[in-house]
Amino acid sequence: MAWYAVYKIGDGELQSVGQSVASANDLSAKGFSSIELLDRPNPSGWNTATLVFDPVPVARKPLSVESFYDLFTDDEFDNIVAARTGTDLLIAKKVNSFITRLNAISDVSLDSQRVIDGINLLETAGLIGVGRAAEILV
């Protein structure tokens, strides 16, 4: 059975979601319109600009710290370890902070802003290849 989303014509604000809907003429007379949907949507994903339900991101399963480290090549991991005691003291401090935080937890969320920032730092510092941060964070 189809689902319908009823929204205000003027601003696109979602009014209701259901399996039945008034006629287009009745809705229009009250300043509303509707769209037919294939499946029951998640109302929190409603986009008032496009008048569609945007996909609601699904949280990824956390990784063990070991699995997280396995995302890096051996050369990248060697670069990261070497940077911890390298001559660039600012990079050494930031990498040490990132690694210390990782080693203090049991699970790593690739959705965490700290993890995202840390991986981007590794790429910016040249410890992992260009474009690798995006590959790792997929």
Mean pLDDT value of segment 57-67: 89
Residues 70 and 132 in one domain: yes
| Residue 126 belongs to some domain of the structure | yes
Give strand pairing partners of 4: 18, 36
Residues 12 and 37 in one domain: yes
pLDDT score at 41: 84
Q: Is pLDDT at 15 greater than 80 in this prediction?
A: yes
Q: What is the pLDDT of residues 103-136, one digit of tens each?
A: 999 999 999 999 999 999 999 999 999 999 999 9
Q: Where are the beta strands (DSSP E) in the chain?
A: 3-8, 14-18, 32-37, 46-47, 52-53, 63-64, 107-108
| Residue 44 belongs to some domain of the structure | yes
- Residue 37, classified by CB atoms within 10 Å of its CB into exposed (0-12), middle (13-18) or buried (19+), is middle
| Residue 109 belongs to some domain of the structure | yes
Domain span holding position 9: 3-53
pLDDT score at 58: 78
| Residue 45 belongs to some domain of the structure | yes
pLDDT score at 74: 97
Token pair recorded at residue 71: 């995302």
CB neighbourhood size of 87 (10 A): 7
Residues 102 and 72 in one domain: yes
Mean pLDDT value of segment 69-98: 96
Cβ atoms 61, 68 nearer than 8 A: no
| Residue 16 belongs to some domain of the structure | yes
Residues 79 and 119 in one domain: yes
How many domains in the chain? 2
| Residue 58 belongs to some domain of the structure | no
User: What is the distance between the terminal CA atoms of the chain, rounded to a whole angstrom?
Assistant: 35
Q: What is the pLDDT of residues 26-58, one digit of tens each?
A: 999 999 999 999 888 877 789 999 999 988 777
pLDDT score at 39: 86
